[in-house]
A and B are shown apart, each in its own frame.
Chain A
Amino acid sequence: MKLSTLLASAALAIGLAGGAYADDKTKVGFVYVGPVGDGGWTYEHDQGRLAVEAEFGDKVETVYVENVAEGPDSERVMTQMALDGADLIFTTSFGYMDPTINVAAKFPNVKFEHATGYKRADNVSTYSARFYEGRAIQGHIAGKMTKSNIVGYIGSFPIPEVIRGINSAFIHAKKVNPDVEFKIIWAYTWFDPAKEADAANVLIEQGADVVLQHTDSTAPQAAAQEAGNVITFGQASDMGQYAPMPRVSSIIDDWAPYYVARTKAVMDGTWASTDTWDGIGAGMVGIGEITDAVPADVKAEALALKASIADGSYHPFTGPLKKQDGSDFLAEGETADDGTLAGMNFYVEGITGDIPN
């Protein structure tokens, strides 16, 4: 307790000192798990940071630390940002969850925003994006485009987030192509170009002519380009440098509107702890341009699907659906609730193989 009082009073002292020479800039910190140049996950968060700078100009100061290991290192970096006078800190990886909660308890006047976690406090919000909505559109295009009827999928870790994406893509591929089969490889990494390239090559050798990925590098795109006649989708970022082939579309995480809104809330003094889970409708999930490698009618269908998800008239998990073991998941017309989606740990019917654990 002593330390937290000490830390808090130090932060207060610095805050007061800052106020003394009328420096009322709002300071926003970002903690990144990867390098800002990863072209995927961290890159998009940094785009959000730049959007905050562009929006508020002189009124904000942003700082970031990249390549921060989860665990004690992240706790130290967050503490350091809070000590340096940050008003708002975005911690952008699931593994920062407990450290964020620990640091937030020591700095009650600093607001924290933790991406993709589930632990909140009075000064800790959580936020995530409904990536599975984008997966539905990918699945649709994949089901239509595959000639070998084999779709490869590079999974990162077998966690609900990733399993949800596989299910969503599979459901919509199967809907337009009953013969489609998914081959899933677990890379056990979020970002490792070498491993991702290996996984992509194995999938292509096994006959996949569509490769979906839940990992963040462009290595699978490069592997597909080399193989030719294999299509891919950008992950987390547009990866437009591989358009129009092999990359035919992408799921883009667009954090900018959220980061701008939350920074504004801190400036206005209206910030409150919330849990945000936005999708295509709110603009947090973007669908990158569908290239001409996709036939016009398929593209039109995909865009219609996107529109129906965006306006809420269609939910990607709509019954009738069964689980892999044949038991009932959703009845005709029923949609999955957020609790079920958040903890999803099963495949839907038709996916072969087991979820490793």
Chain B
Amino acid sequence: MIRLEKRPQASQTFSWAAPVLAVLATMVFGGLLFAALGKDPLASIETIFWQPLFGDFAFYYRPQLLIKGAPLVLIAIGLSLGFKAGIWNIGAEGQYIMGAIFGAATGLAFYPTESFLIFPLMILAGALGGWIWAMIPALLKVKFGTNEILVSLMLVYVAEQFLASMALGLLKNPEGFGFPGSRNLQQYGSAHNAELITGSGMHWGVVAALIAVIFAYMLLARHRLGFAIRVTGEAPRAAKFSGVNPTRLVLFCMGMSGLLAGLAGMFEVAGPSGQITIDFNVGYGFTAIIVAFLGRLHPIGILLAGGLMALTYIGGDIAQSQLGLPAAAIQVFQGMLLFFLLAFDLFTNYRLRLGRAEAA
């Protein structure tokens, strides 16, 4: 007989082994899924994980990994601070949208003036946009005790409507023949978040993501606030006794995650995307939740997890066109990753025992 037994202490080893095991299990079961669809499982897995990194055109895909991974990492870092303290900001997608709108609107307000001050202003505006959007659920929580999960999630849909309205109205390209969508910021030098070295994929958003990783690491490891975050998540009662102010913690964690999500949106709209359009947001805010957990809410882990998610997206698209795998199969594959992670997470706190239950 097999049964689960609670570990006296959470296994440190398993906490780090679970993501690795989840990736391996995903490869195995994903391979089976692809085989069931009549595709060569090894070739499929190779296409998804190997081609973007070491294939014939890796010189193109490697920079794309940075472009795809940067917003994920930036948002996930912000979310992880709150998640560690048990503060659940589920609405990063909305904060991402608002950051993009604020940033793009600031840039477009100056069009066609060229000045080196415009881009820094856009960064500030983008951060502000995301921060404001996150402060709504934060203030409602600390003032009226509302549930931040629901409020932040609902605000995503509000932000989407706002985005559509901006793309169709206020920010619409006056030279766009009545079609929706703003001017393309890639064609506006002062506002363009261009690659720092051509062909490297390295834009300011990537730099910001790396800074955020370092900043979060230092905050959690060295700073008093980081201690407050950790202790609140692990032992809320102990946190109270040690003098943590829960109101300030909620405001900080929500605000910081909103700010980083807003930055991610701003860097995206000014760079790789270029335009405010109706469908500007593609789910980074939600995928970042997976990235945060896959990375164990640890800054370095998130960096790796963001890279991994980006890899499956890019490799997935390659597999679609080269092998004819349907998009749905790729999505199932990505879903498996989270599923197996949660499954293996069980073993962080429990272990398998063979044999009879011992008499208690």
**Residues of A at under 8 Å CB distance from B?**
1-3, 6-7, 10, 14, 29, 35-36, 63-73, 75-77, 79-81, 83-84, 94-95, 98, 102, 118, 157-160, 188, 342-345, 356-357
Between-chain CB contacts (< 8 Å), 25 pairs: A6-B199, A10-B57, A10-B59, A63-B324, A65-B321, A66-B326, A70-B277, A70-B279, A71-B272, A71-B279, A73-B68, A73-B282, A76-B317, A79-B60, A80-B57, A84-B321, A84-B322, A95-B278, A98-B186, A98-B275, A102-B186, A157-B180, A157-B278, A159-B178, A188-B164
CA–CA, A102 to B198, complex, Å? 15
| A117: min CB distance to chain B, Å | 8
Contact: A157 with B320, CB < 8 Å? no
Contact: A83 with B199, CB < 8 Å? no
CA–CA, A312 to B195, complex, Å? 51
Scoring A6, A29, A35, A95 by chain B CB atoms within 10 A of each residue's CB, the highest score goes to A95
Choice from B64, B179, B184, B279 contacting A118 with Cβ under 8 Å: B179
Number of interface residues of B (CB under 8 A): 45
A-B contact sample (6 more), CB < 8 A, given A95-B277, A357-B169? A10-B59, A35-B326, A95-B181, A157-B164, A159-B168, A188-B278
In the complex with contacts A6-B199, A65-B321, A77-B321, A345-B279 CB distance below 8 A: no
Chain A residues with CB under 8 A of B117: none
Closest A residue to B167 by beta carbon equals: A157
Chain B 191-206 interface residues, beta-carbon cutoff 8 Å to A: 198-199
| B48: min CB distance to chain A, Å | 13
Chain A residues with CB under 8 A of B169: 357
Chain A residues with CB under 8 A of B274: 71, 98
Chain B residues with CB under 8 A of A94: 179
Contact: B328 with A35, CB < 8 Å? yes
CA–CA, A25 to B290, complex, Å? 42
Does chain A have a CB within 8 A of B327?
Answer: yes
Chain A residues with CB under 8 A of B161: 188
Chain A residues with CB under 8 A of B184: 98
Scoring B60, B161, B277, B324 by chain A CB atoms within 10 A of each residue's CB, the highest score goes to B60
CA–CA, A250 to B102, complex, Å? 42
Contact: B168 with A356, CB < 8 Å? yes
Choice from B60, B268, B318 contacting A7 with Cβ under 8 Å: B60
Chain A residues with CB under 8 A of B277: 70-71, 95
Contact: A118 with B177, CB < 8 Å? yes
In the complex with contacts A157-B180, A157-B278, A65-B327 CB distance below 8 A: yes
Contact: B177 with A342, CB < 8 Å? yes
Scoring B56, B279, B321, B328 by chain A CB atoms within 10 A of each residue's CB, the highest score goes to B321
Does chain A have a CB within 8 A of B280?
Answer: yes
CA–CA, A66 to B68, complex, Å? 18
| B47: min CB distance to chain A, Å | 11
| B170: min CB distance to chain A, Å | 9
Mark B321-360 against chain A: 1 for CB-CB distance below 8 A, else 0.
1101011100000000000000000000000000000000
Chain A residues with CB under 8 A of B322: 63, 84
Contact: B179 with A6, CB < 8 Å? no
CA–CA, A243 to B228, complex, Å? 64
CA–CA, A75 to B321, complex, Å? 14
Mark B294-332 against chain A: 1 for CB-CB distance below 8 A, else 0.
000000000000000000011001101110101110000
Does chain A have a CB within 8 A of B18?
Answer: no
CA–CA, A14 to B273, complex, Å? 28
Does chain A have a CB within 8 A of B67?
Answer: yes
CA–CA, A89 to B322, complex, Å? 14
Contact: A2 with B279, CB < 8 Å? no
Chain B 162-185 interface residues, beta-carbon cutoff 8 Å to A: 164-165, 168-169, 172, 177-181, 184
Contact: B198 with A73, CB < 8 Å? no
Chain B residues with CB under 8 A of A159: 168, 178-180
Contact: B317 with A77, CB < 8 Å? yes
Choice from B57, B186, B273 contacting A83 with Cβ under 8 Å: B57
In the complex with contacts A2-B199, A65-B317, A357-B168, A71-B282 CB distance below 8 A: yes
| A232: min CB distance to chain B, Å | 25
| A70: min CB distance to chain B, Å | 5
CA–CA, A79 to B63, complex, Å? 13
CA–CA, A75 to B67, complex, Å? 12
| B162: min CB distance to chain A, Å | 11
